[in-house]
Amino acid sequence: MEAVADEVAGQPVEGRGLSEAVSAARHPEVPKVAWGALFARLAAGDSSALGALYEAAARQIFGLALWRTGSVEDASDVVQEVFLRVAQRHRRLGKVEDPRSWLLGVAHHVAIDLTRRRKRRAAEPLDEVPFLAAPESDDARALDALRASKLLARLPPAQRNVIYLRHLADCTFAAIGDITGVPTFTVASRYRLGIERLRRLMEGTQ
Amino acid sequence: MNEEPGSFEKLLAGLRPPEPPRGLQDKTLRGAGEALAREAGRDFWTRIWESRPLRVAWAVSAGVLVICHIGITELPSGRAPAARQTALSARDGDGELAAIGRLLRLDEGARPLIGTEAYRVVEEQETDRTLLGTGNGKESAS
């Protein structure tokens, strides 16, 4: 957890280059996209950029929404709503400094609004929700994905979201704070609590 | 980056968020494309007319104007509350407060000068000043 404290305090972490290499290897699913150029095209009204944006961001948005709402149907609605908002506000997209964080932030807030509107679903069990998926050809990893999904289902949504953004979207704590609208220290605290809880759950199931 | 336990790291390695459902892409892009075309087709004045922040600003401005109008026309002026308070105090029987509100007079028996009586008094005073030589400089010189 020392690296967590260093990052929160804004201190450089020793061996940052190695960390970035490890991080890049750990997040092959985060595509390298020229977000600024994509948003500039959208700001100019280029509708073909919507397709490129979907390819680049839909999976991340869907994943974030799924981890928040616990419902594939609701997560699909979130993706549609986010793209609708992008289209409606396309003139202002050129001013967005960090397009990826902005998109994830919009998705986060839309997901929270949707969860509030559909309180009934919040009471439904999340054990069957596929929070994670394995590569198609790997059956052993598919079992791991199922097991990890069951563990993640037992976390509070706020902790689950932070773990998603940190591990699967490769965001820094500061970026997660911007996306979720909470202070960086709160993000780090949620992350630490979530990881500790997952660890305890894993020890209990092994 | 060793902030998480190795077992959890191992469990997550290679796993990804699930793919969005099939058919979502078409539905999403169709809706967003229509919204983009609709938005791009609106001219400047239409956007201003339909802008929600501007509508809120108009509504707030109108509300402030109405409140100010009511405040200026309906409410009493700044002195009125004090006078009304004195009158209320007097009516409630607080004589001391009522006395503070009343102006003092040098001669309680004096009456106001009205009409020809006033002219007569003023002429008498001017005549006295002339005879005594306390008028203006021109009169004294003559």
pLDDT string in tens for chain B (142-residue length): 444 446 777 777 778 888 888 889 999 999 999 988 888 777 788 878 888 889 999 999 999 999 998 888 877 655 555 555 555 555 556 677 677 667 676 777 777 777 777 788 888 888 888 887 765 544 444 4
* Residue ranges, chain A, pLDDT below 70: 1-32, 120-127, 205-206
Of A1, A168, A202, the CB nearest to B16: A168
**Single pTM value for the model:** 0.65
Q: Which residues in chain B have their CB less than 8 angstroms from residue A54's CB?
A: 25, 28-29
Q: State the complex-level ipTM.
A: 0.75
Distance from CA of B69 to the nearest CA of A (A): 38
Q: Would you state the structure tokens that stand for residue A117, as one six-digit string?
A: 């509107």
A82: nearest Cα among A54, A55, A56: A54
- Give the rounded distance of the alpha carbon of A105 from its chain centre: 9
Q: Looking at residue A200, what is its pLDDT?
A: 87
- Facing B35 at nearest CB: one of A3, A63, A84: A84
H or E element in which residue A55 lies? helix A48-69
User: What is the least distance, in Å, from the CA of B51 to any CA of chain A?
Assistant: 12
The answer for A 30-89 residues in CB contact with B (under 8 A) is: 42, 45, 47, 50-51, 54, 58-60, 62-64, 66-67, 72, 75-76, 79-80, 83-84, 86-88
**Angle of CA points A34, A35, A37, to nearest 5°:** 70
Question: Nearest-5° angle of CA A109, CA A54, CA A36?
Answer: 80
- Residues, chain B: 142
* A186 to A5, A9, A61, A113, A171: CA distances (angstroms): 12, 12, 22, 21, 15
Q: Are A201 and A152 in contact (CB under 8 A)?
A: no
CA distance A195 to chain B (A): 7
Q: What is the pLDDT of residue B37?
A: 87
User: Residue for token digits 């998705």?
Assistant: A107
Spatial contact of A30 and A61, defined as CB atoms under 8 Å apart: no
Cβ atoms of A169 and A175 closer than 8 Å: no
* A135 close to B (CB below 8 A): yes
Contact B19 A59 (CB under 8 A): yes
What pLDDT is attached to residue B22? 87
DSSP-assigned letters across all residues of B4-67: S-HHHHHHHTT-BPPPPPTTHHHHHHHHHHHHHHHHHH--HHHHHHH-HHHHHHHHHHHHHHHH
User: What pLDDT was estimated at residue B86?
Assistant: 56
Q: Which of B2, B12, B18 lies closest to A167 in CB terms?
A: B12
pLDDT score for A206: 46
Q: Which residue ranges make up each domain of chain A? A: 4-203
The torsion of the CA quartet A19, A96, A131, B27, rounded to 10 degrees, works out to -140
Question: pLDDT by residue (tens digit) across B28-68?
Answer: 999 999 988 888 777 788 878 888 889 999 999 999 999 99
Measure the CA–CA gap between A30 and A37, rounded to whole angstroms. Answer: 17
Type of residue found at B69: H
pLDDT for A152 equals 87
Radius of gyration of chain B from its Cα atoms, rounded to whole angstroms:
43
- To the nearest whole angstrom, how far is the Cα of B49 from the nearest Cα of chain A? 16
B85 residue type, one letter: Q
